[in-house]
Structure 1
């Protein structure tokens, strides 16, 4: 009798109990009293509590379209930043001193990483908290300059952020020929414009996903709002203009012809003012920010396209693809709001 072929699993979701079991097995942190899935997105994120009162966050790395997790770089960079005085959720070491373990799952082993629990709340629409986020990102860029640990698997360049995601997007079953041609033409124009700017642009160690949802803000000793950052899964060497564009991309109105209202413009201005209070921002870098808005959007849609086996093709329906193309074509004509 021929043995049945193994069933392919795109991505499994372990229970909190399964995560707790692995953590108690590999970490010397005592008994886990609470472990629940907080978010199932690009990765699986669990909130954990231990018998001695310690709180932590466990991240089970999911398969990414780019390839293997960037765990060695990410965890080493976080340790460097924390030692330098930045507010970050640093990794917690296993009994053996490692920064992660390989959790066995039906689809194959996946990296499980424990991070410190950060207090506070997201910046939301608070102007002081938005300014604190800009200051905090500038501090990350400043303090990362002395990093000398493992190199990043990925460079946040046009191949990584634009061309590779575009290929995934163009292969999506919800993409028709007319849309595909529109996306390819747009990406070509964007790449040409950014390539011409590259000699003038500043390179930094990017957070990669600083959109206002990956940091918390608390009161500092003098009452000033202070930002602390987490989720460095997309971190890597890249361009300052791209890292700054992520916040603008997340807050700018999502429609062709859209403009900031007064409150939105104020938050953006204070975000940039917060950044400039710590690090200089050259005119070329500031002007280039809007050039990266379509890059960021195509990167995100490429992530969705790469997850069709897990999330389904209707995570990027054709109507959505058409709307995003219209918005990105509008963004091409924008100047960075001053």
Structure 2
């Protein structure tokens, strides 16, 4: 068979990674490699010499080489500034990236230190620790400079590129299809109108509470900067609000959000404009996520994008419209 059959996304063999890639990083031991998470990128747990590391296999064509090098530069810079982050590990030839040819095309690989501590369920104390750490992260990122280009977390990234993926999958739900189209247009107008007054700077892009570990002393270590890029820090703050909106107890969610927000502002106060923008960014985040799921349905399966999925995801948007009294064509 001369031509390989097309592949959407392959899973790299953990055994091949251990034998062919990990010796570039580890020579004094025989490291083990186990697939940990299959997602936008694939994550492997590495054990070597009594320590744990993370190997990320970047998705083909998901990020440019410049995007990835920007991320690795940022992590090294933040570590040098004393910020708790998972940092890239250099190979023995001082390079930070490896490259392999997968069935779908070239894929980049990077190895990172393992974030100390563990993921901790949200409590008031954890929300406060997270809010303070997020503010310190934003403050440190203000002064980062890189020679590498990075994608921007802007209206195109959050909305314009996402809504077109959602609408065809709502053909059987015309009322919801119209709603998504209208709220997407509404959010673009409103955020564009507010943007001259909003702070702009480097963002993590996915500060949802799950992309960090907390140790026994309360120290927060951030990881998974795959979504980082120049954007609105208020969006980064809004992602935490978005993450607790799915909690069954609304009063608990509101308390955790307020604890987080107060702790963040104790370190880095938000402007009035940034605070006003947060509900709009919460809605934009939801559209971004649904659009991402729809875009990659050929891999993550269309079966997951059923009516129950859209009921749950659109409910948050509908609740925001009512809560904020947004005028969206009769909704």
- Normalised by the size of structure 1, how large is the TM-score? 0.88
Of 313, 319, 323 in structure 2, the residue corresponding to residue 324 of structure 1 is 313
Please name the residue that 2:39 is paired with: 41
The offset of 1:182, in angstroms, is 2.3
Please name the residue that 2:271 is paired with: 282
SS in 1 for 2:215: strand
- 1:243 and 2:241 aligned: no
Please name the residue that 2:21 is paired with: 23
> Structure 1 residues 95, 268: CA separation in 2 closer, same or farther (over 3 Å shift)?
same
- Structure 2 CA distance, aligned partners of 1:291 and 1:229? 25
Please name the residue that 1:73 is paired with: 70
Please name the residue that 2:295 is paired with: 306
1:91-119: CA deviations, max 9, x gaps? 01122222211122111121111000111
1:283-324: CA deviations, max 9, x gaps? 221221111122111111121122122112122224422543
Asked if structure 2 preserves the Cα contact closer than 8 Å seen for 1:290 and 1:334, the reply is no
1:193-243: CA deviations, max 9, x gaps? 1111112211121110111100011244xxxx2211000000001101210
SS in 1 for 2:231: strand
- Structure 1 CA distance, aligned partners of 2:260 and 2:7? 42
Please name the residue that 1:14 is paired with: 12
- Structure 2 CA distance, aligned partners of 1:270 and 1:123? 16
Please name the residue that 1:264 is paired with: 253
SS in 2 for 1:46: strand
- 1:252 and 2:249 aligned: no
Please name the residue that 1:182 is paired with: 179
1:140-164: CA deviations, max 9, x gaps? 1111112111344310001011110
Asked if structure 2 preserves the Cα contact closer than 8 Å seen for 1:301 and 1:316, the reply is no
- 1:56 and 2:53 aligned: yes
- Structure 1 CA distance, aligned partners of 2:25 and 2:321? 49
Kindly report which structure 2 residues correspond to 1:225-236, keeping only aligned pairs within 5 A, or say none: 225-236=218-229
- Structure 2 CA distance, aligned partners of 1:260 and 1:326? 14
Query: Greater CA deviation, 153-162 or 319-328?
Result: 319-328
Structure 2 gaps, min length 5: 325-331
- Structure 1 CA distance, aligned partners of 2:60 and 2:322? 35
Kindly report which structure 2 residues correspond to 1:65-214, keeping only aligned pairs within 5 A, or say none: 68=64, 70-172=67-169, 175-176=171-172, 178=174, 179-214=176-211
SS in 1 for 2:219: strand
Q: How many residues align?
A: 323
- Structure 2 CA distance, aligned partners of 1:32 and 1:78? 27
- Structure 2 CA distance, aligned partners of 1:30 and 1:170? 53
Structure 1 gaps, min length 5: none
The offset of 1:67, in angstroms, is 5.1
- Normalised by the size of structure 2, how large is the TM-score? 0.90
SS in 2 for 1:133: helix
The offset of 1:265, in angstroms, is 2.2
Please name the residue that 2:328 is paired with: none
> Structure 1 residues 253, 311: CA separation in 2 closer, same or farther (over 3 Å shift)?
closer
Of 262, 283, 290 in structure 2, the residue corresponding to residue 294 of structure 1 is 283
